[in-house]
Amino acid sequence: MKKRRLHHFTPFSELPRNKQRDLYVSLRWRTMRDTGTFGGMFTSDCMLDEPGRPQLYKQWFDFYFLGKDGFTIWNTMVFSATYEFWNKTSTLASQHALSLLSEEQRRRECGLEWEGPFLRDGEKYYIMAERPMHTHDCFGGLTLREYERKYELEIIENRPPPIYESFKVDRSYQYGIGLKAVVQAEEINREVIEATIDRFRQVGEKDWQSEKPVPREVLPFETQESALSKVKHPI
């Protein structure tokens, strides 16, 4: 049986070579044009060096760079090890919390409900209904979010997941080939991105994971929510 395609476009990796080449050349010109902003190795739709942006808000970045074969575009998301650590601990806490609920409780907590329809200028529209907060006996009388925060801190303090520097390729993207990169860095800046590109090319532009995890002492000992609450923003 032929596998059903889940998207309604042809992935970049399945395009004819001449189409890939046209897009490659177009991005090459754009990268050259943006040299004054990004340095000439990559380009992006995002602002990289936003003045006054705190370091904890510089933990990921989206960008594009060219493959070495003259055809490939790498559509990249780079994350710091700190960001990846918080993402994993949050996901583990959420999965554990939801596993303690019944199917009906999960539906009530996670299902989307809408209010409406309302009429405006002859058009119908709906708004998302505000979800009431429920406490649960299985959480010791806490709400889902309160328990997730509590359990996430327990994971961080007692069972921190290992984080590895890595590259993960995804060929289902419409524009370019997807690439997720995890790097050990205090923040994502131009120097880190350029070093990430160099390293990806050195490993052969393929999936890769470091042999040793990122040292535990350089990863957070508090939740992302707690850390961000302490950030002082410039006035």
What string of pLDDT tens digits covers the 235 residues of the chain?
Answer: 344 455 688 999 999 999 999 999 999 999 999 999 999 999 999 999 888 899 999 999 999 999 999 999 999 999 999 999 999 999 999 999 999 999 999 988 887 666 667 767 767 676 766 777 889 999 999 999 999 999 999 999 999 999 999 999 999 999 999 999 999 999 999 999 999 999 999 999 999 999 999 999 999 999 999 999 998 876 6
Domain that holds residue 24: 12-84+163-229
Residue that terminates a domain, selected from 127, 142, 158: 158
194 and 215 together in one domain: yes
Kindly report the length of the chain: 235
Residues whose CB falls within 8 Å of the CB of residue 118, separated by 6 or more in sequence, listed in order: 124, 125, 126, 127
Q: Quote the pTM value.
A: 0.87
80 and 171 together in one domain: yes
Within 13 Å, how many C-alpha atoms sit on residue 20's CB side? 19
Q: What is the per-residue pLDDT for 4?
A: 45
Give the total number of structural domains in the chain: 2
Using CA atoms, how far apart are residues 224 and 85, in angstroms rounded to an integer?
A: 9
Per the listing, tokens 């429920």 go with 134
The beta-carbon contacts of 190-195 under 8 Å, at least 24 apart in sequence, are 190/38, 190/39, 190/48, 190/49, 192/78, 193/41, 193/42, 193/48, 193/61, 193/63, 193/78, 194/39, 194/41, 194/42
31 and 126 together in one domain: no
135 and 151 together in one domain: yes
- What Cα–Cα distance (Å) separates residue 89 from each residue in 63, 124, 161, 209? 26, 40, 7, 19
Using CA atoms, how far apart are residues 36 and 34, in angstroms rounded to an integer?
A: 5
> What stretch of H or E contains 65?
strand 60-66
77 and 171 together in one domain: yes
Nearest-10 crossing angle of helices 144-158, 81-99 = 130
Q: What is the per-residue pLDDT for 141?
A: 94
Question: For residue 205, which of 15, 77, 23, 74 has the smallest C-alpha distance?
Answer: 74
154 and 168 together in one domain: no
Q: How many CB atoms lie within 10 A of CB 31?
A: 20
Residue that terminates a domain, selected from 158, 181, 202: 158
Residue that terminates a domain, selected from 158, 178, 198: 158
Using CA atoms, how far apart are residues 108 and 102, in angstroms rounded to an integer?
A: 10
Using CA atoms, how far apart are residues 39 and 190, in angstroms rounded to an integer?
A: 8
